[in-house]
């Protein structure tokens, strides 16, 4: 007999409504435990300015230096179901080629300044991974950025190693948001 297990998802600061999924039952047999990680950082800019930078695909390369291109594939940005193709040097490839990731927007809430993307296909081995970003007004014109991720275990890789690498990568992106906002402000100022 298959033993059923009730899975309780912890909310990522309100992105996922636990009332909708608290009592989901899944077959315990055959399911692998997901690997989880999260990073946070303070950006010395107001919430709305940070949201403007992080919520637009066309601005990814401004705060994610390893991203060279982001192409719209399906749907409309900001609407669940939207699919984009991100490429660059996010994850080193043995053949020296660029990394690519096809991501689908699962949820976006501009009121709570949060979104969730799922990696649907890639050449980096993270298919099925889920990334969630949430902004919180931290007071005094600053913003707390929380980035959490969930991935399927990777064969031949230690959990701590991949969680540390992704944490480092995503934290470096959070640290670049302030510079992206300042660059955007300079461009606006120069055109006036």
Give a yes or no: residue 29 inside a domain.
Answer: no
The predicted pLDDT at position 190 comes to: 57
Question: What is the span of the domain harbouring residue 53?
Answer: 2-16+35-191
Residue 176 region by backbone torsions, left for phi larger than 0, else alpha for psi between -120 and 50, else beta: alpha
Cα separation, 190 vs 187, whole angstroms: 5
3-state DSSP call for residue 52?
Answer: helix
Say which residue the tokens 């890639």 belong to: 122
Give a yes or no: residue 9 inside a domain.
Answer: yes
Domain count, the chain: 1
Give a yes or no: residue 23 inside a domain.
Answer: no
Give a yes or no: residue 44 inside a domain.
Answer: yes
- Whether the pLDDT of residue 4 is over 60: the answer is no
Encoded tokens for 160? 């701590």
CATH number of the domain to which 52 belongs:
3.30.530.20
Give a yes or no: residue 72 inside a domain.
Answer: yes
Give a yes or no: residue 28 inside a domain.
Answer: no
Say which residue the tokens 């510079």 belong to: 179
- What are 141-178's pLDDT values in tens digits? 999 999 999 999 988 889 999 999 999 999 999 999 99
Give a yes or no: residue 54 inside a domain.
Answer: yes
DSSP-derived secondary structure for 115-177:
EEEEEEEESSS-TT-EEEEEEEEEETTEEEEEEEEEE---TTS-HHHHHHHHHHHHHHHHHHH
Cα separation, 182 vs 45, whole angstroms: 9
- What are 53-108's pLDDT values in tens digits? 999 999 999 999 889 999 999 999 999 999 999 999 877 777 778 889 999 999 99
The predicted pLDDT at position 117 comes to: 98
* Prediction pTM value: 0.78
Give a yes or no: residue 57 inside a domain.
Answer: yes
Residue 1: C-alpha distances to residues 6, 26, 28, 30 (Å): 16, 13, 11, 13
């Amino acid at each position: 007999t298959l033993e059923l297990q009730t899975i309780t998802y912890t909310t990522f600061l309100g992105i996922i409504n636990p009332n909708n999924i608290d009592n989901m039952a899944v077959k315990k047999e055959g399911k692998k435990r997901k690997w989880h990680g999260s990073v946070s950082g303070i950006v010395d800019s107001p919430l709305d300015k940070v949201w403007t930078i992080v919520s637009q695909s066309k601005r990814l390369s401004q705060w994610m230096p390893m991203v060279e291109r982001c192409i719209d594939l399906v749907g409309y940005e900001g609407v669940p179901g939207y699919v984009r193709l991100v490429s660059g040097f996010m994850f080193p490839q043995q053949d020296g080629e660029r990394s690519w990731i096809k991501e689908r927007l699962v949820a976006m809430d501009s009121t709570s300044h949060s979104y969730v993307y799922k990696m649907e296909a890639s050449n980096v081995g993270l298919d099925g991974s889920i990334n969630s970003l949430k902004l919180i007004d931290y007071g005094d014109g600053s913003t707390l950025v929380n980035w959490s991720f969930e991935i399927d275990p990777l064969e031949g890789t230690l959990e701590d190693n991949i969680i540390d690498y992704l944490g480092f990568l995503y934290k470096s992106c959070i640290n670049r948001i302030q510079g992206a906002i300042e660059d955007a402000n300079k461009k606006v100022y120069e055109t006036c």
